[in-house]
Chain A
């Protein structure tokens, strides 16, 4: 009985922090929720009002088209929600509070969980609306692969959040964390992937890139799964600037994608925890 109570007392501060964080991030949440609903409406419904814009043959194809912007949405929401998790405490010097009511790890865990709940909820709404529209256009049953896609999206968000949390653990301000993580994730990884593909072509897969791993969210919807996963495209006829061939890695394999996302999550969180421990709050 005593043990149960102790556990309860131990978890209560985390639970309270989660609730507090959810309330604190309310405006950001409403904004991203609005954006998510707007994207689904525009891509999934409004475009289909044009008779010349053809509906894909299959429900999975429709979902794949509707999820075009999910990677951007998750990326931006991860950067904006998780960037202040650790560095805001240093920025606001909460460590100087004389009577700390909560352990600093519990505080960070509560804040992280609160933000994660909000981001996953936004994505769940996105998937729910898209699934509903998929049902509207194609009837039931809903293709099972959209649930796999949602699973990957959640895993991807956790990986992105761990990456942002790592930056938050050593950066000084929230704004710098947001800008630097956005730059790295949006531009850095994309450029690096292209350079690596240009140099190594099909002999080296850019598995180091979280953004590349995020491609699994849409590629898991394809039936059959892309094979080969590396494709070369030739532009125009040969000669006079034509006949230019460039290669592209389409998607990581499912197994490798899951393993690497999990590895990244663990590594980034461990590094963030170590840095946070060494840094004086």
Chain B
């Protein structure tokens, strides 16, 4: 009787262990399958300060352009060594957008948005564009306060508050680009659209799109390296390569040069380096994050509090003993 009970107990324990193992195995399998095409957002709220560390003006004018300077790319006083800019990530939401919203937020430059709204009178409003191109995109829409590069102290209030889009699936960049170029072709062939409007819109290449995005606080999801690689592969970029957590743009101005945008663990921009063809640094922006100072102060405060408590406890014990 006792032996029977023991056997039943053993069988039950074995079954329980097997089912637990099975559940955990299935979990691991599902995670593995999901991770093959799954990206997570590692963004955190907080402020990053960007600082112009190096700017070799002569090398820039001999290599990049003699009519453009870094402020044409990065805005404000980006052409002054020591100038700083600041970006505060305020928060984000996970949402699904249609083609119109994605094109107006990601592809079109700010100054061309008015053209998109003008097209509404000719059969290309929000609803109609979404009907022509019914793709939808899951994305993180983060809101960030931006202080442009300045060589003075920052103003208290930010200059602008902009949204920054991070697509859940990096392969969607290809779909967006294709849809946009198809839309441009459709508008160009539409006799109802006036010529002045047609002339103001044009196709965009994958390289141009990624360059525009990189200059406008492009961010990646985690794992960052994979994400960047997938973006460049999906877009089939010609002169852009993804290397570990960086996007490297091979560009030609007066001479060949490279622009490297590096992204941190959280997928946000950490540095920009412009190098000439013999690998000399022409321009370098670096970023500072004050989180470590916060943790240092917190650690000191906690240690001091513990020290005071220990001293007081020991003292009161001594007094009690005496």
* Chain A residues in the interface with B (C-beta under 8 A): 48, 50-58, 60, 128, 132, 135-140, 143, 223
Report the Cα distance A116→B117, complex, angstroms: 63
B307 on interface, CB distance cutoff 8 Å: no
Report the Cα distance A194→B10, complex, angstroms: 74
Report the Cα distance A143→B155, complex, angstroms: 12
Report the Cα distance A48→B49, complex, angstroms: 20
Q: Which residue of A lies closest to B143 (CB)?
A: A54
B91/A136 in contact, CB under 8 A: no
Report A47 CB to chain B, min CB distance, Å. Answer: 11
Contacting residues, chain B, for A55 (C-beta < 8 A): 45, 88-91
List 15 additional contacts besides A51-B92, A57-B145, A139-B49; criterion CB under 8 Å. A51-B43, A51-B91, A51-B93, A52-B92, A54-B90, A55-B88, A55-B89, A57-B90, A58-B156, A136-B291, A137-B45, A137-B47, A138-B47, A139-B86, A223-B156
Contacting residues, chain A, for B49 (C-beta < 8 A): 139
Contacting residues, chain B, for A56 (C-beta < 8 A): 90
B145/A53 in contact, CB under 8 A: no
Report the Cα distance A41→B158, complex, angstroms: 26
* B:13-60 near A, CB below 8 Å: 43, 45-47, 49
Report B147 CB to chain A, min CB distance, Å. Answer: 10
Report the Cα distance A71→B49, complex, angstroms: 34
Report B200 CB to chain A, min CB distance, Å. Answer: 33
A135/B293 in contact, CB under 8 A: yes
- Choose from A54, A57, A60, A132 the contact partner of B158 (Cβ within 8 Å): A57
Contacting residues, chain A, for B43 (C-beta < 8 A): 51
Report B110 CB to chain A, min CB distance, Å. Answer: 20
Q: Which residue of B lies closest to A140 (CB)?
A: B290
**Chain B interface, DSSP helix/strand/loop, else mixed:** strand
Q: Which residue of B lies closest to A136 (CB)?
A: B294
B161 on interface, CB distance cutoff 8 Å: yes
Contacting residues, chain B, for A53 (C-beta < 8 A): 91
Report the Cα distance A124→B279, complex, angstroms: 53
Please name the 8 residue pairs, one residue from A and one from B, whose CB atoms are nearest each other, closest first.
A139-B290, A136-B294, A54-B91, A55-B90, A54-B90, A139-B47, A51-B92, A57-B145
Report the Cα distance A140→B294, complex, angstroms: 10
Report the Cα distance A96→B297, complex, angstroms: 51
Contacting residues, chain A, for B289 (C-beta < 8 A): 139
Contact indicator per residue, chain B 81-125, by CB within 8 Å of chain A (1) or not (0): 000001011111110000000000000000000000000000000
Report A265 CB to chain B, min CB distance, Å. Answer: 31
B290/A136 in contact, CB under 8 A: yes
B298 on interface, CB distance cutoff 8 Å: yes
B318 on interface, CB distance cutoff 8 Å: no
A137/B91 in contact, CB under 8 A: no
B157 on interface, CB distance cutoff 8 Å: yes
Q: Which residue of A lies closest to B89 (CB)?
A: A55
- Choose from A50, A52, A136, A143 the contact partner of B46 (Cβ within 8 Å): A136
Report B38 CB to chain A, min CB distance, Å. Answer: 18
Q: Which residue of A lies closest to B145 (CB)?
A: A57
- Choose from B46, B157, B293, B301 the contact partner of A57 (Cβ within 8 Å): B157
Report A249 CB to chain B, min CB distance, Å. Answer: 25
* B:64-81 near A, CB below 8 Å: none
Report B299 CB to chain A, min CB distance, Å. Answer: 11
Report A29 CB to chain B, min CB distance, Å. Answer: 13
Report the Cα distance A164→B73, complex, angstroms: 62
Report the Cα distance A140→B93, complex, angstroms: 27
- Choose from A137, A139, A143 the contact partner of B156 (Cβ within 8 Å): A143
| Residue of B90, B143, B288 with highest tally of chain A CB at under 10 A | B90
B90/A135 in contact, CB under 8 A: no
A132/B290 in contact, CB under 8 A: no
Q: Which residue of B lies closest to A133 (CB)?
A: B294
Contacting residues, chain B, for A51 (C-beta < 8 A): 43, 45, 91-94
| Residue of A51, A57, A128 with highest tally of chain B CB at under 10 A | A51
Q: Which residue of B lies closest to A48 (CB)?
A: B45
Report the Cα distance A135→B49, complex, angstroms: 13
Q: Which residue of A lies closest to B305 (CB)?
A: A125
